[in-house]
Amino acid sequence: MRTPTLMDSNELKGSRVKRITGLVVLSLYFFILLFFAAPASAQEQFYKGKTVRIVVGFAAGGGFDTYSRTIARRLGNHTPGNPTVIVENMTGAGSLIAANHVFKVAKPDGLTIGHFIGGLFLGQVLGQKGVEFDARRFEYIGAPVKDHVVCAFTKASGITSIEKWVASKTPVKMGGVAPGASTPDNATRILKEALGLPIQLVSGYKGTSDIRLASESGELAGGCWGWDSISATWRKSLESGDALVVVQAAPKAHPDLPKVPLAINLAKTDEARHLIDVGIHADSEIVRTYTLPPATPKDRVQILRRAFFETLRDPEFLAEAKKANLGVDPIHGEEAEKRIAALFKLDSTLVAKLKDILYR
């Protein structure tokens, strides 16, 4: 309500001081300014003094939380009206509780942003229990980064190249955390099926660092998960050659790994390529998607999308992300939306196949 009155008084002032030429110019300047500012000011009004919450489906201190807090610190500066941005942790059921909350409970007013694991979208398609959302009705802001899945092994395991892996007489022991987890479990299962690799997936480790420890002690040979994480936590062994990346499951080779073969190029059938594309590539792109509740006003979706990507370009943000080892490789909202919509158009044989591979 404040801005219109200001506008009126400015206009009145403008008419009163017409005689003074210098001020005419000034008032004209004001008019022009107000004219151009008007479309934005409605939104500026909306976010001014407001608080935007990012509801994170995982506990404080984890990867999802760290991304969100790093983004939250700058997002307000890039949103017209400079709202306060805070992070709330709503943990439970592998972030499914948060996903359901954002869909069912959160108000679609552009003040609640959801951040839960993108593997849940495929989960919905495959009929995962407990899903109470419809991924097709969320609004998508985008994601700060794509995952880049690689499979790494210790030198001691003998799996030092893809050829050695294929030729292994005994199944190679690889670590997993739980059925349905995007990495390592889903990625490993899909590679096993699509490439016919000799793999024994041993699931139930607490996390990827536990898998790393079990690999170093010789209990496991290795595992498949994101390169950002492997390169940061296994760096010393990778440098010394005690650990090696044998294959990467991404559409393009990572700049750090120009010589490591791509899984998709090793696939021999269309079905195998399709499995890798849907089960690993698509999943990696949308795994860190930020969403808005269904029916959030389109103009606010646009504002937040723009603010989100400006934040991801902010040099200060990039400096912090670099320090915290958070990779930045954004996916735009439209792109994420397309990728997710495509999941719902998969043909039923592939869906049945995926269900069989991932949940058997």
Please report how close the Cβ of residue 358 comes to another protein at its closest, in angstroms: 10
Minimum distance, C-beta of residue 60 to another protein, in the bound complex (Å):
3
174 strand-pairing partners: 201, 222
Selected range binding another protein among 1-9, 38-46, 148-156, 171-179, rule: CB under 8 A: 171-179
The CB-of-62 to another protein minimum distance in angstroms stands at 7
Q: How far is the CB of 64 from another protein (least distance, A)?
A: 12
The H or E element containing residue 151 is strand 149-154
Task: Candidates 2, 129, 169, 345: give the one binding another protein (CB under 8 A).
Answer: 129
List C-alpha distances in Å: 29 to 20, 22, 159: 14, 11, 71
Residue written as tokens 């603010």? 307
Site string for another protein, 90-109 (x = CB under 8 A): xxxxx-xx--x---------
Report the alpha-carbon distance of residue 30 to residue 32 in Å, rounded: 5
| Beta carbon of residue 110, minimum distance to another protein (angstroms, whole number) | 18
Backbone φ and ψ for 226, nearest 5 degrees, come out as -65, 140
Q: How far apart are CA 289 and CA 333, in angstroms?
A: 8
Which tokens in the block code for residue 72? Answer: 């939250």
Taking CB under 8 A as the criterion, which residues in 269-308 touch another protein?
A: none
Site string for another protein, 54-83 (x = CB under 8 A): -x---xxxx--xx--xx--x----------
Q: Which residues contact 273 (CB under 8 A, 6 or more apart)?
A: 194, 264, 267
Q: Which stretch binds another protein (CB under 8 A): 7-15, 19-27, 35-43, 321-329?
A: 321-329
Q: Which of 17, 34, 213, 253 binds another protein (CB under 8 A)?
A: 213
The CA R_g of the chain, rounded to the nearest whole Å, is: 25
Binds another protein (CB under 8 A): choice among 25, 40, 178, 295: 178
Cis peptide leading into residue 198 (ω within 30°): no
The footprint of another protein on this chain (CB under 8 A) covers a number of residues equal to 57
Question: Looking at beta carbons only, is 8 or 219 nearer to another protein?
Answer: 219
CB of 53 to another protein, least distance (A): 7
Nearer to another protein, 136 or 206 (CB): 206
- Shortest CB 165 distance to another protein, Å: 19
> In sequence order, which residues have a C-beta less than 8 Å from that of residue 341 and are 6 or more positions away?
136
Burial (CB count within 10 angstroms: exposed 0-12, middle 13-18, buried 19+), residue 259: exposed
> Rule CB under 8 A: is residue 206 a binding residue for another protein?
yes
- Distance CA(65)–CA(89), nearest Å, equals 8
- The nearest distance, CB 37 to another protein, in angstroms, is 32
Within 28-57, the residues that bind another protein by CB under 8 A are 53, 55
- CA-nearest of 289, 284, 283, 322 to 304 is 289
Our CB check for another protein shows the closer of 43 and 229 to be: 229
How far, in Å, CA of 133 to CA of 17, rounded? 59
**Which member of 8, 88, 134, 163 binds another protein (CB under 8 A)?**
88
Q: How far apart, in whole angstroms, are the C-alpha atoms of residue 173 and residue 61?
A: 30
How many Cβ atoms are within 10 Å of 252's Cβ, its own excluded? 10
d(CA 63, CA 76): 21
Binding mask 228-257 for another protein (x = CB under 8 A): ----xx-xxx--------------------
Chain residues that interact with another protein, rule: CB under 8 A: 53, 55, 59-62, 65-66, 69-70, 73, 86-94, 96-97, 100, 129-130, 173, 177-180, 200, 202-207, 209-210, 212-214, 216-220, 232-233, 235-237, 320, 323-325, 359
